[in-house]
């Protein structure tokens, strides 16, 4: 066997290894780790679980890497002297009728407390993130900016509620060995919303009905149920067209590739200018590292603009959930609509 054949054989075996793990398993209740923005999707994931495609090989490989990162993190915490408890038994949240509406289990608990007779367990969730996303997350609210990562606060808030605890934290790893530890406190408003989401889903499952469609086409386009078992009405409207223009599609793809860097640039630019505005006076010149920073005073002229109409465009990547941002008001509106 040549080395080329060996390489090909390793790739093929690895692919086959993950292909064999592509499966979909049934579930009876919503799970805390999987509460997206669409209650209808939560219902379909339970009632039509057979229609849900398994994760693709690339995603399974990513999950596997995430599991390894979690194991390493737990080991490191223990080496640092912390008592880590891994509890695989799920918690359950019930509604007023006594029905289980949500299940889940935390990645682990760190044992703290002054009195060994009365230890306090603090739950944590370990998340391995793409380094570009990792840089953007510094607090719970930062997760809310990403459609995919918005699940994380719901997940940890559910664990706090389920275990009757007030505090937990996220351990974020950028897959390069760096950590961020982000505290999380029980937020009754968030907890109430996720419970409402789960309760509505269970109510629909019991009644054999479906919640309203999600109203954001960009969200539906990334949903596994889309056009398999769910076709929202706006996709049959006159405004929906498929345009075959590869050159223009390339431009939109390139724009999306630059988006993460642009977002980081904007964040840093804002932070830097806020700091400089506090610290510098007009005509000051500072040298910081390799940069000369000059402060000048500028006056803004008053002007008026006549009324006009304009088109606004929202351009989003269809294939990568984690790059799509969407306001949390959308989600709240969808829950409020289905009461």
Minimum Å distance from CB 92 to ligand SF4?
25
Minimum Å distance from CB 41 to ligand SF4?
4
Please tell me whether residue 205 binds ligand SF4 under the rule CB under 6 A.
no
Please tell me whether residue 45 binds ligand SF4 under the rule CB under 6 A.
no
Contact, 83 vs 72, CB < 8 A?
no
Q: Torsion over CA of 264, 133, 140 and 162, rounded to 10 degrees? A: 170
At what angle are helices 39-47 and 188-207 packed, to 10 degrees?
Answer: 50
Residue 207 and residue 283: Cα distance in Å, rounded? Answer: 70
Among 29, 31, 32, 44, binds ligand SF4 (CB under 6 A): 44
Among 126, 156, 184, 225, binds ligand SF4 (CB under 6 A): 225
Q: Exposed, middle or buried: residue 62 (CB in 10 Å: 0-12, 13-18, 19+)? A: middle
- Residue (63 or 213) nearer to ligand SF4, CB: 213
Please tell me whether residue 219 binds ligand SF4 under the rule CB under 6 A.
yes
Among 18, 63, 148, 213, binds ligand SF4 (CB under 6 A): 213
Please tell me whether residue 41 binds ligand SF4 under the rule CB under 6 A.
yes
- Residue (82 or 213) nearer to ligand SF4, CB: 213
Among 52, 214, 317, 326, binds ligand SF4 (CB under 6 A): 214
Please tell me whether residue 150 binds ligand SF4 under the rule CB under 6 A.
no
Looking only at residues 228 through 247 of this chain, which bind ligand SF4 when binding is defined by CB under 6 A?
230, 232
Minimum Å distance from CB 314 to ligand SF4?
17
DSSP string computed for 22-68: ------SS-BGGG--S-HHHHHHHHHTGGGSPPPPHHHHHHHHHHHH
Residue 51 and residue 44: Cα distance in Å, rounded? Answer: 9
Where does this chain touch ligand SF4 (CB under 6 A) — which range of 141-149, 181-189, 215-223, 269-277? 215-223
Pairing between strand 84-85 and 120-128? unpaired
Please tell me whether residue 148 binds ligand SF4 under the rule CB under 6 A.
no
Give how many residues touch ligand SF4 by CB under 6 A.
13
Which ranges constitute the DSSP H helices of the chain? 3-19, 39-47, 57-79, 131-134, 140-144, 151-162, 188-207, 217-220, 246-279, 328-337
Contact, 132 vs 264, CB < 8 A?
yes
- Site residues (vs ligand SF4, CB under 6 A): 38, 40-41, 44, 213-214, 219-220, 223, 225-226, 230, 232
């Amino acid at each position: 066997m040549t080395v080329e054949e060996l390489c090909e054989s390793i790739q093929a075996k690895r692919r086959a290894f993950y292909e064999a793990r592509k499966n979909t398993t049934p579930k009876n209740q919503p799970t805390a780790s999987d509460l997206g923005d669409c209650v209808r999707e939560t219902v379909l994931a339970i009632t039509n679980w057979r229609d849900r495609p398994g994760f693709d090989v690339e995603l399974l490989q990513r999950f596997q890497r995430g599991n390894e990162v979690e194991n390493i993190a737990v080991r490191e915490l223990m080496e640092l002297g912390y008592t880590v408890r891994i509890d695989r038994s799920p918690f359950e949240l019930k509604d007023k009728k006594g029905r289980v509406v949500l299940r889940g289990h935390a990645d682990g608990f760190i044992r703290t407390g002054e009195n060994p007779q009365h230890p306090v367990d603090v739950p944590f969730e370990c998340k391995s993130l793409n380094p570009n996303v990792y840089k953007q997350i510094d607090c719970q609210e930062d997760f809310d900016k990403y459609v995919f990562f918005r699940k994380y606060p719901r997940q940890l808030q559910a664990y706090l509620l389920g275990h009757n605890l007030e505090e937990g934290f996220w351990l974020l790893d950028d897959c390069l060995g760096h950590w961020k530890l982000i505290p999380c406190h029980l937020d009754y408003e968030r907890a109430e919303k996720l419970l409402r989401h789960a309760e509505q889903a269970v109510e629909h499952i019991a009644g054999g009905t479906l919640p309203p469609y999600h109203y954001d086409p960009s969200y539906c386009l990334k949903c596994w149920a889309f056009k398999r078992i769910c076709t929202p009405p706006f996709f049959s409207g006159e405004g929906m067209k498929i345009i075959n223009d590869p050159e223009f599609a390339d431009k939109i793809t390139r724009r999306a590739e630059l988006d993460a860097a642009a977002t980081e640039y904007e964040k840093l630019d804002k932070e830097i200018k806020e700091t400089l505005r506090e610290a510098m006076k007009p005509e000051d010149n500072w040298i910081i590292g390799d940069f000369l920073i000059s402060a000048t005073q500028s006056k803004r002229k008053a002007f008026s603009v006549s009324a006009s109409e304009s088109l606004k465009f929202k351009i989003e990547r269809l294939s990568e959930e984690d790059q799509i941002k969407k306001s949390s008001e959308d989600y709240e509106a969808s829950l409020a609509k289905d009461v």
